[in-house]
Amino acid sequence: MRIGIIALLQESNTFIAQPTTLKHFEQDLLVTGEEVRTRLAGTQHEVGGMFHVLDDARVEVVPIFAARALPFACIERPAAEELLNRMFAAYEAAGPLDGLLVAPHGATVSEPWPDFDGHWLSELRRLSWPDLPIIGTLDPHGNLSPKMVAACNALIAYRTNPHLDQRARGIDAARLMIRTVKGELLPTMAAAFPPIAINIERQCTHDEPCHSLYKLADEQLNDEQVLTNSIMLGFPYADVAEMGTSFIVVTNNNPSLAQQLVNQLAGYLWQHRQDFEGRLISIDQALDQAVHLSEPVCLLDMGDNVGGGSPADGTLLAQAINSRGIAESFVTLYDPAAVGECTKAGIGAKLQVSMGGKTDTLHGPPLVAEVEVLGLYDGKFEETQARHGGFTKMDQGETAVVRTDRGLTIMLTARRVPPFSLKQITTFGIEPAKYKLLVAKGVNAPLAAYREVCKSFVKVNTPGCTSADLESFHYQHRRRPLYPLERDFEWQG
């Protein structure tokens, strides 16, 4: 039994003006052949789970291609074409396969293929022998398309947000592949696409309203004919025709049951759609609320959500905290220029620095303040526990930790890195328990890490390219009608 593995993942925010280039993938992950195993086999990523099962089963694993870039903008055409050329060349060179495990993201957008995941999966299906099993994993922050469903025998999305089960879902996919190749199972998949966009502020899977939706999905798994089911929460920052929530059910050779159950999930969401609208709190409301909460308080900066592609240099919360003089507060800002100034000045130096607010005009102006340089670091850190994203070794580039004259501690980084790991700050001399307020530039993804130290969380409706206020975006390509952006319509399923 020869099973191939291909992964191509990026969350593409189409509201960012600059494109994602090949360099973004080269900085993160762009490998073929055995280097795929070297980089991913021991990780919490879904591909790590695939390797684990296949190796244990003494299956011949054929690592083919893996590419990943941090969430950012739409992939420019030259980069998209180069990714496809490398993928398909490696696939052709891999030789005959009995099955193909794939790891698309689900929200990857490129020029000229808005449904980039559907495009490359369809091409793989076209290049393969007709009955080759193709089974894949998905990030639930994807916008599922009919092309993705048609290209694969089964698709399995992570079940947690924050995503702590990526490796487990890779294990599920690999086990399903082995049984399918052996002829023990015949996966049949159905999907449903209710016209609803779940607000990202409502997407934490262990809190309501998602908890009850996932409970219903779990109950469906009690039927032995159901092999797997998935909830695609959706990614509202990709303005594509498929934007919104969707569902998948995979049964063992029972397509009618798959359709019945997937319709049940879609119907539940439609009946409870009002529960999935965002509860939005302004910056001032959040700071007023925070002073009455148990400390440390984590302020989740939804408009500068790095895991959704934002620039990581949004200053609006930092400006408000600094102007109020709330000492013992902490924020991270991406700013290579400011890092350079602090590095040149040296530890212990005091200087005026312009920090953040340099990528665009959406996330606040630079914060200009007198600071003392507390520390300088190389920016490399490692996370050993399962955390959102599934990777263990990270590099935020040269890093400077400074404190303003009003008591705000700022960690300046030379590279954008989402706040998925507490090691991102503790590695560089930050002791979270000593702070009143800690700003994390995310929504749900930071929760797993910051729950270790923070007693309270407030999701803040800041402006930006990842704002939780969907009314602030000018969509051109999304499906219509789509609740809650449109309300005066009925849907029968």
Could you read off the pLDDT of 323-349 as tens digits, one per residue?
999 989 999 999 999 999 999 999 999
pLDDT score for 5: 98
Chain segment 381-401, per-residue pLDDT in tens:
998 887 767 777 899 999 999
Q: What is the pTM of this model?
A: 0.96
Q: Are the C-beta atoms of residues 390 and 356 closer than 8 Å to each other? A: no
Strands 437-440 and 329-334: parallel
- In the chain, the amino acid numbered 299 is L
Quick one: average pLDDT of 106-123?
98
3-state secondary structure of 267: helix
Looking at residues 266-286, what average pLDDT do you find?
98
Find residue 401's DSSP bridge partners. Answer: 375, 411
Give 277's pLDDT tier (boundaries 50, 70, 90).
very high
Tokens coding 157: 């999305």
H helical segments located in 16-109: 22-28, 34-40, 46-56, 77-93
pLDDT at 388 (0 to 100) = 64
How far apart (Å, rounded) are the C-alpha atoms in residues 178 and 180? 5
Residue-range domain boundaries for the chain:
2-276, 283-468
How much of the chain, in percent, has pLDDT values that exceed 70? 100
Torsion angle in degrees (nearest 10) through CA of 270, 275, 281, 287: -140
What are the structure tokens assigned to 376, written together?
């300088």
Residue 493 has pLDDT above 90, yes or no: no
- The per-residue pLDDT for 37 is 98
**Mean per-residue pLDDT, 269-281:** 98
**What would the mean pLDDT of 211-230 be, rounded to a whole number?**
98
SS3 label, residue 325: coil
Contact 280, 461 (CB under 8 A): yes
Residue 227 has pLDDT above 80, yes or no: yes
User: Considering the chain, what percentage of its residues have pLDDT values greater than 90?
Assistant: 97
Indicate the length of the chain as a whole number.
493
Strands 408-413 and 399-404: antiparallel
